[in-house]
Amino acid sequence: GAVVSQHPSRVICKSGTSVKIECRSLDFQATTMFWYRQFPKQSLMLMATSNEGSKATYEQGVEKDKFLINHASLTLSTLTVTSAHPEDSSFYICSARRGAYGYTFGSGTRLTVV
């Protein structure tokens, strides 16, 4: 149990376009999901906390207008990278909270902006 599906696993987009990444909890409800970004050979950096039915909470330095987060249901959160540029190329990972200590991570999305 406790599976989180992230889609797509890889995406290549042109500079200036927008890309949507989905994070789904398949067998549990997640009132809170988290989005991380990971550059090569670096750690996971928390971007934002996504709460079902309310606005996301962004970490300091993360542009909320560039990284749009929507958590419209208890099983789905989406991250849209708007007007993507090459410097946005990264590995994006979501995590879904299940209870007080149960957190499950998605398999990640490799975004390449050309």
Partner 1 sequence: GESVGLHLPTLSVQEGDNSIINCAYSNSASDYFIWYKQESGKGPQFIIDIRSNMDKRQGQRVTVLLNKTVKHLSLQIAATQPGDSAVYFCAERGTGGFKTIFGAGTRLFVKA
Residues that bind partner 1 (CB under 8 A): 6, 32, 34, 36, 42-46, 49, 91, 93, 95, 97, 101, 103-108, 110
Cα(12)–Cα(72) distance, rounded to whole angstroms?
Answer: 26
Q: Closest distance between partner 1 and the C-beta of residue 83, in Å?
A: 26
CB of 107 to partner 1, least distance (A): 5
Nearer to partner 1, 16 or 102 (CB): 102
Q: Which residues 6+ apart lie within 8 Å of 106 measured at CB?
A: 4, 5, 6, 23, 93, 94, 95, 96
Nearest to 90 by CA among 34, 37, 45, 41: 37
Cβ atoms < 10 Å from Cβ of 12: 12
CB closer to partner 1 out of 75 and 104: 104
> CA-to-CA distance for 2 and 23, rounded, in angstroms?
13
Residue 80 CB, nearest approach to partner 1 (Å): 20
Residue closer to partner 1 by CB (options 44, 68) is 44
Q: Report which DSSP code applies to 7.
A: E
Cβ at position 101, least distance to partner 1 in Å: 7
Q: Which is nearer to partner 1, 15 or 46 (CB)?
A: 46
